[in-house]
Structure 1
Amino acid sequence: MRTEDKAKFAELVTGMAEIYGREVTAASLRLWWATLGDHSLDDVDHALRAHVRDPESGQWMPKPADVIRRLEGSARDQEADLEAQAVSAWGKALEALRNTGPYQDCPIEDPRALAAIEDQGGWQSFCMMETRQLTWARKQFIDAYKCMEAPGTPRSKLGIHSSQNVRQIGEARSAGESLPKLGGAA
């Protein structure tokens, strides 16, 4: 929030406190402001209204931590979201495996998914997995996905064709030859 939001913020907090039959002191209002000041006034207003409408938690006046939980979500909510993202990324990785295979470059753009594939030996190794390995690979992928920061593109995103092309270019350059035609181009 900005300094010019203080009056509206004070009105919002004191109005909410009146609903619960409470008074807000200047000291507690300063604490509310210091605690929630990193959020926009609209977001705080929305979170307070959501709290008041909630049949369970809305029975009591919220504390700043209750408002922050509504604004940012609880750690448990964030973990569940990350788990859902990881499961979705696994599904997309399997779809890419079926549609692309090891000869083409990995089409996945999600940096965490790429890092999880890298953790399993890279795209080519990932594509060469046997069906019986998928259950364990899924668990490893999801665990790796959840632990990864979003890094840059891993080096093993290349499929077999691109790896061979890169090797051929390097060999041709070192031999002083003209570059070969790549990717089966005539």
Structure 2
Amino acid sequence: MNKIRLLLFVGFGLLYLSLGQGRRSSLIVQAEKPNDKAALSTLKSLPTTIGEAQIRARILHETIHGALQVIHRDFFQEDESRVIPSHSLEDVFKELNRAHGVKIRWLAVNAKAMNIDNEPKTEFEKMSVKELSVGKASYEQVIDDQFHYTGKIRLPSQCLKCHLPMRRDNRDRVAGLVISMPVKSHGKAE
């Protein structure tokens, strides 16, 4: 249990830094509806440039990917665990969306989606699947003052027992982690 606490402490510390909490405003507490553009546009923790959004998305991706791998390795036991690690992290995703307007979700790429919600829905997500399927590490795009980033998540063999039960080769399989966050006026600092 101490390992879990340490892992969560380190992971959330990195998330805290990556989301620009040094500039946190009390307005974050007021923005309970992350889809309220007026509330989000006044948050001081919004990335001011596309470059800043790219850095934040990459740090979030690496933090979540690393946490997922460690939780799987150290705590997930196939016959004993009640919840799979990727599903447990969805609570973290909900809080990041509520508090910061950062939307995160899993994306099926070249293995079976265990949850229909992980199928690609938008054109950006469909393009992400194509790019990750051919070996790219990530794909990103800005659409309407929203920075969208998809990074690959390696699926280890214990994941493939369910995601690809009838596999006939040892090719690497991946999923995607979609991270979307608002940016201020397409990369122009205000």
TM over 0.5: no
TM-score (norm 2): 0.28
More helix by share: 1
More strand by share: 2
TM-score (norm 1): 0.29
Report the structure number with the largest CA radius of gyration. 1
